[in-house]
Amino acid sequence: MKFGASTIGLILGPLLFILVLTSFHPEGLSESGIAVLACTLWVAVWWITEAIPIAVTSLLPIVLFPLTGALNLKATSTSFGHPYVFLYMGGFFIAIAIEKWNLHRRIALNIIRMIGTNTTRIILGFMLATAFLSMWISNTATAVMMLPIGMAIIAQLKDNPETSEDENAIFGKALMLSVAYSASIGGIATLIGTPPNLVLAGVLKNMYGVELTFATWLKFGLPISILLLFICWVYLTRFAFTFRDKSFPGGREEIRRQLQRLGKISYEEKSVLAVFLVTAFAWITRSFLLTRILPGLDDTIIAIAAAVVLFLLPVKDRSRSILRWEEAVKLPWGIILLFGSGMAIAEGFTSTGLAEWIGNHLTLLHGIAMLILVMILIAAVNFLTEITSNLATTAMLLPILAPMALSIDVHPYILMVSATVAASCAFMLPVATPPNAVVFGSGYLRIPDMVRTGIWMNILSILLLTIIVYFFLPMLWGFDPGVFPEAWK
C-alpha cells in the first residue's frame, strides 16, 4: 500500500479526533468546546491532505457536531443555509447566464482590442479582461474561457516566419501566467469574486453580528486588485520575461477575427448585460442609497432577485427563458458545502467558548509589533495556500484569528482581512489555484517556470498586502487598528 499524503491524512484525522476527545481536558474549556476542537482537527486534516474530496469532508460537521455534543443538529445544519451561501449562489446564477450567452467572451475580446495589440499591451489586455471577469464570475471559468483565446494569439506569433522559436515560447509562458495571475487578482476586488471573501463576511456576521457589505469590501478590494494587477504586468513584461519583438504580427487580425465570429451582440446578451449592470449598481449603492427606499434590502436579496429575473426573462423568440434550471444546476456545489462547513465551525467556536479560550491562551503575541504580525500572517497564509484550498484555509483560520485579535487587543479586521486577501495570492504551483492548473495544462509551462516566476509574485503580493492592510485598511473602513471594539467582546 502506497502511503501518500491522502493516506496519512485519512488515518491522522480520526486519530487526532479521538486523542483530543478522550485525552485533552484543559482547565476553562467546556466539553462542547473540546468536541468542536476535536471535530475541527479531523476536518482540517482531511481538507489539507484531501484524504477524500474536500466537498465530502465538508459534510463531516453535520455528523460529528451533534454526536459529540459540540453543536446540535439544527444549529449545525442552519450554517449550511447561511445568507452568504445564497449570495454566492445568486452571483453564480448570473455568471452561468453570462457564460451561456457568450457575453464574457465578447467583453474580454473588446477589452483586449481597446488596450492594443503590441506584445506587452496584448498581455495587459488579457490581464484586464481576465481580472474584470473574475470580479464577477468564477476565476476557474474565467481562466478556462481565456485559455483558447490566448492559445489562438500565441499561434499567430508562432505561424509568423519572422518570429524566432524562443520568442514564441517566452511570449507563451508570459501570456499563460498573466491569465492565471489576473484571474486570482481580479477575484480580490469584489465580495463575490472569490469564496474566501464571503467566508470572511460570514464569520464576521456569525461571530460579531457585523455585516460586511459589497460596497465596503469594494473600497478595499478594488484598489488592491488594480495595484497588484499593474505590478504583476510590469513584473511579467519587464523583469520575468523580455521580448525582442515589440510589435505583434497578426495579433490585431486574430482579435478582429474572433469578434467577427461572435457576430453582432444578441438580444440575449443585452438582456444578461442589463441584469448584470443593474445588480452591480444595486450592490455598490445599496448601503448608502437603496436602503433609504427599501430598509430591508440586503446584498443576498439583490443576488437572488437578479437570478429570479434571469429565469423569467424570455429569449428573443420566446422559446425558453434566459436561464434554465438544467443550466443553473451546474453551480459549484462543492464550494457551497465547504462554505457552509466553515460557517458551522465558526458557530461552534463562538457558541461553545472555544474562541474565547484560544484567545486567552495567545497572550505571547502581545510583544510582537502589529506590522510584523501582519506580515508574518500574510506570508504564512500565502505559502500555505500553495498546497491547500484557499477556501478551506480561510474557513479554518478565521474563527481562530478573531480570538487572537481579542487576546492582543487589536481590531479583528486587521488579522482576519490579512488572512483573507493572502489566500488569493498563491502564484507558484499548479495546485495552488484552479487558474494555475488550467494554464499549466496549456503545455507552455513547466513547474520550474511557475515556481521561478511565481515566488517573486508571492513576495511582491506579501509586501503590498502588508502595507495596504496595516496603513490603509483602518482609514478605508474607519476603525482604530489598535483597539478591539468593546461591543464585539
pLDDT of residue 362: 67
For the chain, percent of residues with pLDDT exceeding 70:
95
Residues 302, 279: contact at Cβ < 8 Å? yes
pLDDT at residue 165, as a whole number: 58
SS (H, E, C) 43-71: HHHHHHHCCCCHHHHCCHHHHHHHHHCCC
Q: What is the three-class DSSP state of 321? A: strand
Q: Tell me, what DSSP letter sits at residue 265? A: P
pTM: 0.86
- The C-alpha cell 464569520 sits at 203
Question: Which three cell numbers mark 230?
Answer: 499593474
Residue with cell 517573486: 456
Which residues contact residue 237 at a Cβ distance below 8 angstroms, ignoring those fewer than 6 apart?
Answer: 119, 120, 123, 124, 174, 243
List of the chain residues with pLDDT < 50? 1
CB 243 within 8 A of CB 114: no
* 444, amino acid identity: Y
Please give the pLDDT value at position 20: 96
Looking at residue 56, its pLDDT comes to 94
Please list, residue by residue across 1-35, b when 16 or more beta carbons sit within 10 angstroms of its beta carbon and e when fewer do: eeeeeeeebbebbeebbeebbeeeeeeebeebbbb
Q: What is the pLDDT of residue 161?
A: 56
pLDDT at residue 1, as a whole number: 40
Distances 197 to 279, 421, 463, 476 between C-alpha atoms, Å: 18, 8, 20, 17
Nearest to 427 by CA among 124, 150, 184, 171: 184
Specify whether the CB–CB gap between 416 and 402 falls below 8 A.
Answer: yes
Q: Can you tell me the distance from the alpha carbon of 153 to that of 144, in angstroms, rounded to the nearest whole number? A: 15
Question: Percent helix, strand, coil in the chain (nearest 5)?
Answer: 75, 0, 25
Length of the chain: 489
